[in-house]
Homo-oligomer: A and B are copies of this chain.
Amino acid sequence: MKNFADLTYRIYSKVKAKKPLIHHITNFVVMNDTANLTLALGASPVMAHAKEEVEDMTTLSDALVLNVGTLTKEWIESMILSAKIANKKGIPVILDPVGAGATSFRTEMSFQILESCRVSILRGNNGEISTLAGFKAHVKGVDSLQGADPMQVVRDAALKFNCVVVVTGKEDVVSDGKRTVVISNGHELLTTITGSGCMVTTAIAVVSAVHTDLLESAVSALSIFGIAAEIAATKAKGPGSFKVYLFDHIHKLSQKEIEHRIKIREI
Q: Which residue numbers of A lie inside 8 Å of B, CB to CB?
A: 21, 23, 27-33, 35-36, 38-40, 44-50, 52-53, 56-57, 60-61, 69-73, 99, 102-106, 140-143, 191-195, 236-241, 243-252
Interface CB pairs A-B, < 8 A, 9: A32-B194, A39-B193, A39-B194, A39-B239, A44-B143, A50-B72, A52-B73, A60-B103, A243-B244
Cβ–Cβ < 8 Å partners of A49 in chain B: 70, 72
Given contacts A46-B141, A47-B27, A47-B70, contact A53 B238 (CB under 8 A): no
Contact present for B36 and A239 (CB under 8 Å): yes
Cβ–Cβ < 8 Å partners of A103 in chain B: 48, 53, 56-57, 60
Contact present for B40 and A239 (CB under 8 Å): yes
Output the nearest chain B residue to A70 by Cβ-Cβ distance: B47
A63 to B27, CA, bound (A): 21
Question: Which of B40, B47, B104 interacts with A29 by CB under 8 Å?
Answer: B47
Closest 9 CB pairs of A and B: A238-B248, A240-B247, A46-B141, A53-B105, A35-B194, A56-B103, A240-B244, A53-B103, A52-B105
Output the nearest chain B residue to A104 by Cβ-Cβ distance: B56
Contact present for A46 and B142 (CB under 8 Å): yes
Chain B CB within 10 Å — which of A47, A99, A243, A251 has the most? A47
A45 to B142, CA, bound (A): 8
Cβ–Cβ < 8 Å partners of A251 in chain B: 192, 238-240
Cβ–Cβ < 8 Å partners of A238 in chain B: 40, 247-252
Contact present for B192 and A46 (CB under 8 Å): no
Chain B CB within 10 Å — which of A195, A243, A244 has the most? A244
A99 to B27, CA, bound (A): 20
Q: How far is the CB of A232 from chain B (nearest CB, A)?
A: 8
Given contacts A32-B32, A39-B239, A40-B239, contact A48 B244 (CB under 8 A): no
Output the nearest chain B residue to A22 by Cβ-Cβ distance: B141
Q: How far is the CB of A121 from chain B (nearest CB, A)?
A: 21
Chain B CB within 10 Å — which of A38, A195, A243, A247 has the most? A247
